[in-house]
Amino acid sequence: MLLLRWLVLLMLLAALVSFAFYAGTGDARFKRYGWLVLKWALLSAFGFFAVLILERVL
């Protein structure tokens, strides 16, 4: 579980860095990478919390 928490946190940090690069350079590929990483980070976080909820229920 700790590994998954760190993975989601690092993915969110990577998205933040990518958006910062986009803000600094104006290069659209950084914005695209940021949205892609953010999407997968949020999906991973929702999956993580779903597993936690299922553990509580069962």
pTM exceeding 0.75: yes
Residue ranges covered by each domain of the chain: 2-57
Q: What is the pLDDT of residues 18-45, one digit of tens each?
A: 999 999 999 999 999 999 999 999 999 9
Give 17-34 as a DSSP string. HHHHHHHHH--HHHHHHH
Phi, psi angles (nearest 5°) of residue 27: -80, 125
Which one, of 15, 5, 17, 9, lies nearest residue 52 by Cα?
A: 5
Alpha carbon distance 20, 12 (integer Å): 12
pLDDT mean across residues, the chain: 94
